[in-house]
Amino acid sequence: MGENNFKDSRMKDIEERIKKNIIRDYGNIQSKEELEKHIVQHQEHKANLFEDYIAKYFPKDFFKDKTVLEIGCGFGGNIIHLRKHYTRNAYGIDLDKDAIDIAKDIAIQENIDKDAFLHCAAEEITSKIDTKFDVIISLQVLEHVQDVKKSIEEMLVLLKEGGYIFIHVPNYDSKFETHYRLKMPSNKKEDFIEILKAQGIDTAFAESLNFVNKSYFDDILNSLKGEYKLSYILPYDTEFYRKNFNLKQKNVILRYFPFAGKLLRYLIYKVKAPASLVVIIKK
């Protein structure tokens, strides 16, 4: 078998494993059409969320040569992207060992060090890693962990002074559940589970979720006083909340009149809570 044929065969095997992994996790909660889109997105390795969710909040080349850790790296799309375009010092952890094994195999195909990926829970990273990082990212993951506060505490231990934690999560104030793709009557988990039961939909996945929202993170950040210097909770992809790398408002008026900005953010959030939240913590 020629080298190209071997690589093609290897990638087909990886794609099949990705499909099985996604069906295992989402097969009972997504429609056939949504599930197929989900599978194809990952199989084509387009599931790195870096450019969509992170790059817009930081200037070009901000990540160049920085040490980066991703919490919940899945099949490794973000880390492989970072290593190819920004830094050799990007690493990912995930609780799903099958996903980590797949990420390692994709890394080999991409000529990237497979040791960039580690099987580990978000609440236990300091027991496995002692390196300090310039940036720690977590995208669509903290709604799944056992203990959100503990996970953030672990990140802070590994964050360098002046470093950033960047978290992206669904916002359960929005009354829309992104995993099931269903509207919710309230932001309470128990109400949503009753809706699922009434429709005969599996509830195990929903029962494992943290219904995170702005107040949820406000409470956690307030309990971490002294552990960090600055923090921001921002509606996703809304110009009023866009920040550059030193976390100044891009809108000049809001920058110099912070109370007006705070009031405006509050009103916009109340009128239409965004589907996602971005939490930025600077140490």
pTM above 0.85, yes or no: yes
Secondary structure (3-state) at 146? coil
Domain 49-171+212-237+272-282 fold: Rossmann fold (3.40.50)
Give how far Cα 141 sits from Cα of 7, 22, 57, 113, 158, Å.
31, 15, 19, 24, 18
Residue 24 has pLDDT above 50, yes or no: yes
Looking at per-residue pLDDT, the higher value among 8 and 280 belongs to: 280
Average pLDDT of 138-156? 96
Average pLDDT over residues 124-142: 95
Residue 213: its pLDDT value, please?
A: 94
Quote the CA–CA distance of 152 and 209 in Å, as a whole number: 17
- Per mean pLDDT, which range of 22-31, 40-49, 163-172, 226-235 is the poorest? 40-49
Please determine, for residue 246, whether its predicted confidence score (pLDDT) is greater than 50: no
CA distances (Å), origin 192, targets 79, 118, 186, 208, 217: 34, 34, 7, 13, 21
What residues have CB less than 8 Å from 24, skipping those under 6 apart? none
Q: How far is CA 247 from CA 95, 124, 227, 241, in A?
A: 31, 29, 18, 10
Percent of the chain at pLDDT > 70 equals 84
Does 116 score more than 50 pLDDT? yes
Position 259: which residue type? F
CB distance 34 to 55 below 8 Å: no
| Choice between 34 and 45, residue whose per-residue pLDDT is larger | 34
Q: Tell me what pLDDT residue 270 has.
A: 77
Q: Using CA atoms, how far apart are residues 62 and 55, in angstroms rounded to an integer?
A: 8
Extents of the domains making up the chain: 1-44, 49-171+212-237+272-282, 172-211
In this model, does residue 244 exceed pLDDT 60?
A: no
Residue 251: pLDDT above 60? no
Strand partners, 139: 168
pLDDT, tens digit (0-9, with 9 covering 90-100), for 188-210: 999 999 999 999 998 999 999 99
Task: Please tell me the number of Cα atoms within 13 Å of 144 on its side-chain side.
Answer: 19
What's the average model confidence in pLDDT over 100-116? 95
